[in-house]
């Protein structure tokens, strides 16, 4: 469920017409519904209410401070993958005990900052990382809380670019090496071995891969228990998909929770009152946001009709990167006109700059507003300045009010960190080698 609805043929976010935001803010812009964000988070909370858990929103899905703050006020923790994301959750006041740090390439500076802040858990992805965290924790006179991310070699049945649980993926420790690595971790003096982490991919639309991965993880937990390694946390990651297309519905979070809890209920982990950590991102934020753009031109090519927007692949790269489908809606509906097949494209100097190919759409006209649905996750966070295009504004709606929660970037801001090579003057040695 979300709060983007038509009223008298105008598309609203909660009680605010998107046309009004466009008039005041300009286009393109991202628009987020706070009510939808909070509802989706609470659905997850209720689904896992019968089992001890911490829900850590995946910051990489949508890192806007207003989005993070809305979820934090609902009780969310956060899954981070960089020092920059740590700074974001610190900025909203999230305590370290509600933060887990994932990712394959944590730098020493990032590890030290997270140790200093007192995060709940590092999800460790290699022996080299394990040893580095142990060394840095020793230098700081601390014990680092760690879980090992295990790669269960389960096919998530999703796009190859967002699959993370197969043996060919860069993520996690191979399943057959996990026991020896846990033994190594137990010997390292500056680590507190607390958990096991498993994340197999994103935009999963079936439950079987989750269940298969959990069964493999529970077998490993039983083996570890026999060795006296008793873990407090089981981090099952995220990955549950959202409906990008009407009629193609992934499992509801309630069914997802039922499937996992059915496997966990009779486990020794449950008997020991272990706690789950979950890292949903897309399923909370995806359908809580839209990208609103204006039609610049209608172009009739020799073979195709093109609807050219003022937004491009630098603003939303998912279609170009993944061939991703996004529903496209007119901000103002008109009736009585025949739909047309068209390509919806942007102004970027790339043939891959598109939002839809051969899509049956209402007859858009120049100046019309178009909303790209399901853009609240992996939208703005993956945007860029390609073609020296300023990144767009972000807007949050709360009931009948809205606020710009990220100002539109300017070209001056893009250029501010650049400089020309210094011009040599008489007597200058600035361009000489050392």
Rg (CA), the chain: 24
423 Cβ contact partners less than 8 Å away, ≥ 6 residues apart? none
* Residues 384, 310: Cα–Cα separation, whole Å: 15
Instruction: Please tell me what DSSP assigns to residue 386.
Output: G
Query: Token pair of 306, please?
Result: 């093109």
Q: Is 94 a catalytic residue?
A: no
Phi-psi domain of 253 (left: phi exceeds 0; alpha: psi -120 through 50; beta: other): alpha
Parallel, antiparallel, or unpaired for β 369-372 and 328-330? antiparallel
In 3-state terms, what secondary structure has residue 295?
strand
Enumerate long-range contacts of 79-82, CB under 8 Å, 24 or more apart. 79/238, 79/279, 79/281, 82/110
Q: Is 296 exposed, middle or buried (0-12, 13-18, 19+ CB in 10 A)?
A: middle
In the chain, DSSP finds a helix count (H) and a strand count (E) of 13, 21
159 Cβ contact partners less than 8 Å away, ≥ 6 residues apart? 203, 322, 323
Nearest to 69 by CA among 46, 48, 107, 38: 38
Cis amide leading into 28 (omega within 30): yes
Q: Name the phi and psi angles at 129, rounded to 5.
A: -65, -40
Query: Token pair of 97, please?
Result: 């005990």
Contact 351, 314 (CB under 8 A): no
Contact 272, 367 (CB under 8 A): no
Which one of 38, 94, 198, 349 is the catalytic residue?
349
310 Cβ contact partners less than 8 Å away, ≥ 6 residues apart? 27, 28, 293, 294, 296, 346, 347
Catalytic residues, which ones? 349
């Amino acid at each position: 469920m979300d709060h983007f609805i038509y009223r008298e043929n105008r598309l609203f976010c909660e009680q605010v017409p998107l046309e009004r935001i466009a008039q005041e803010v300009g286009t393109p812009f991202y628009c987020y519904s706070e009510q939808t964000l909070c509802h989706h988070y609470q659905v997850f909370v209720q689904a896992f209410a019968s089992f001890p858990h911490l829900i850590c929103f995946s910051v990489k899905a949508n890192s806007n401070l207003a989005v993070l703050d809305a979820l934090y006020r609902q009780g969310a923790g956060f899954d981070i993958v960089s020092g920059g994301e740590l700074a974001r959750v610190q900025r909203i006041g999230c305590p370290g005990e509600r933060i887990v740090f994932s990712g394959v390439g944590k730098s020493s500076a990032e590890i030290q900052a997270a140790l200093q802040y007192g995060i709940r858990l590092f999800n460790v992805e290699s022996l080299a990382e394990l040893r580095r965290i142990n060394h840095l924790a020793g230098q700081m006179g601390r014990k680092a809380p760690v879980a090992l991310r295990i790669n269960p070699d389960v096919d998530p049945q999703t796009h190859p670019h967002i699959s993370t649980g197969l043996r060919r993926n860069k993520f996690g420790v191979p399943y057959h090496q996990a026991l020896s690595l846990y033994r190594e971790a137990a010997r390292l003096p500056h680590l507190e071995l607390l958990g096991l982490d498993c994340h197999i991919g994103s935009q999963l639309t079936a439950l079987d891969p989750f269940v298969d991965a959990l069964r493999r993880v529970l077998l490993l937990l039983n083996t570890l228990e026999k060795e006296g390694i008793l873990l407090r946390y089981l981090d099952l990651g995220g990955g549950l998909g959202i409906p990008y297309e009407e009629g193609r519905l992934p499992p509801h979070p309630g069914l997802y929770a039922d499937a996992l809890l059915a496997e966990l209920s009779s486990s020794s982990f449950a008997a020991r009152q272990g706690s789950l950590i979950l890292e949903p991102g897309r399923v909370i934020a995806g359908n809580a946001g839209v990208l609103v753009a204006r039609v610049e031109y209608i172009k009739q090519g020799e073979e195709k009709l093109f609807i050219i927007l003022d937004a491009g692949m630098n603003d939303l790269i998912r279609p170009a990167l993944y061939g991703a489908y996004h529903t496209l809606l007119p901000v103002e509906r008109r009736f009585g006109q025949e739909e047309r097949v068209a390509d919806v494209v942007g102004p970027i100097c790339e043939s891959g700059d598109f939002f839809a190919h051969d899509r049956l759409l209402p007859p858009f006209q120049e100046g019309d507003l178009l909303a790209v649905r399901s853009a609240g996750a992996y939208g703005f966070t993956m945007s860029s300045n390609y073609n020296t295009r300023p990144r767009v504004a972000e807007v949050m709606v709360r009931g009948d009010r809205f606020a710009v929660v990220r100002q539109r970037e300017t070209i001056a801001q893009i250029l501010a960190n650049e400089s020309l090579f210094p011009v040599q003057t008489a007597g200058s040695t600035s361009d000489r080698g050392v």
